[in-house]
Structure formats: structure tokens, C-alpha cells
Amino acid sequence: MLFHFKNQFPQLNPFWDKYLEFQQRQEVAAKTILLAEGTVSQNYIFIEKGCVRAFFNNNGDDKTVQFFFENEGLTSFESFINDTPGQFTIETIEPSVVYLLPKQYVIRLMEELSSEPYFARLIMQVSAGRQTHYINEFVSFIRDKPEQRYQKLLTERPHIIQRVPQHYIASYLGVSTVHLSRIKSKLAKGKLHF
């Protein structure tokens, strides 16, 4: 939500810079939980190195909804704005280096920004982008069969498949690990036709 938007509206850059010093650098192991489902988000998280996933738990069975990599930042926007518990857990997949900016500073920063004319534009742009992202994920989930979603991942975001363990990918695609194996096996035998 924040520092990865630097330079998008150069007029706002001084605001980001001012808060850089409040970030806390952390080196964390794989499978470290950065934010637990059902708790209120306390930090803006920026990933310098490594990768993380967002998921929610359903009867002990994880459903992964998104992956994040280097130079991406994340927060539970609504959890910040409304002080409500978020519905996702954020967990590192690889050993990672992250920067955390405590909530209080994020709030203060947004207060400062809210009287800046370009801020409204930034927010609109960012919101439109996030909306588009969620809608696209949603539509793809409804429209495409798991094979198609896997192939899309393979061609459009191969880095995910390279770096992320397969059972997380299965969970992201909405199928069991067994079925993802079947899909890969069919693909390898060239038996898939669209």
C-alpha cells in the first residue's frame, strides 16, 4: 500500500521518505507467521527478500489466496482502516528479509496525506488496481477449470511455480494436491486440449 508506490506520484515522495526511518528490518525463517488470521494487522509489511503467502484456514485445511515476492508490500487494508481482525494469515514460504512499519505510523502518514490533492488520486488508482486484481482472481476462479488456471500460472507467472512448493499451488488453484499431480501428469503427456 505504501512504499512500493514511491515514484507513482513524485509529488508525494517526501512523505514516504519521512517514514523510512520507522521501519524495522527483520530476518525471519521460512514458515514464520507475520500476521495471524483473526488478529488486527499491526504493521505494513514490505518484502526485501524471500516470499510469503496469504491464506485462510478451513477445518485445518489451508486455502492460499495470494503470493508475494521481493519488492512487494502488503497490509490488510480494511484491518487497518476499520481496526477489524483480518481473515488471512501471512506466512513466509522461504527464509525472508522484511521491513515492518508499525500501524501508528501508517495511520499518521495517511492523516498527513489526506489533505494532499494527489493522495486522492493515488488512492483511486491503487484501489482500482486492487479491485481489478481481486475481480480478475475471482473471475478466473469461476471461469477457468483448474488445468487452465495452472497453465496460466505456468505461462504468466512461472516464478511462482518455480519457487513455491506444489501443495501451496494446489491450494491456490483450489484443488487437492492429488489432483494437481494428475493435471501435471496429463500436461506432461501432452493430453490436454483446449
By CB under 8 A, name the binding residues for a second copy.
56, 58, 63, 65, 77-78, 81-82, 87, 110, 113-117, 119-121, 123-125, 127-132, 134-135, 137-139, 141-143, 174
Identity of the residue numbered 151: Q
Q: What part of residues 56-115 is at the interface with DNA (CB under 7 A)?
A: none
**Residue of the chain from 178, 191, 193, 194 that contacts DNA (CB under 7 A):** 178
**Residue of the chain from 40, 151, 176, 187 that contacts DNA (CB under 7 A):** 176
Question: Is 167 one of the binding residues for DNA (CB under 7 A)?
Answer: yes
Using left for φ > 0, alpha for ψ between -120 and 50, and beta otherwise, residue 158 falls in alpha
Instruction: Choose among 82, 84, 86: nearest CA to 34.
Output: 86
Instruction: Choose among 160, 178, 185, 179: nearest CA to 64.
Output: 160
Nearer to a second copy, 38 or 158 (CB): 38
Question: Is 146 one of the binding residues for DNA (CB under 7 A)?
Answer: yes
Say how far apart CA 79 and CA 74 lie, in whole Å.
Answer: 12
**Residue of the chain from 4, 6, 163, 182 that contacts DNA (CB under 7 A):** 182
> In whole angstroms, how far apart are CA 102 and each of 35, 37, 43, 45, 98?
13, 18, 4, 9, 13
Nearer to DNA, 97 or 110 (CB): 97
Nearer to DNA, 20 or 29 (CB): 29
Rg (CA), the chain: 18
Nearer to DNA, 10 or 60 (CB): 60
Q: Which does 23 bind (CB under 5 to 8 A by kind): a second copy, DNA, none?
A: none
* Beta carbons within 10 angstroms of residue 30's beta carbon: 13
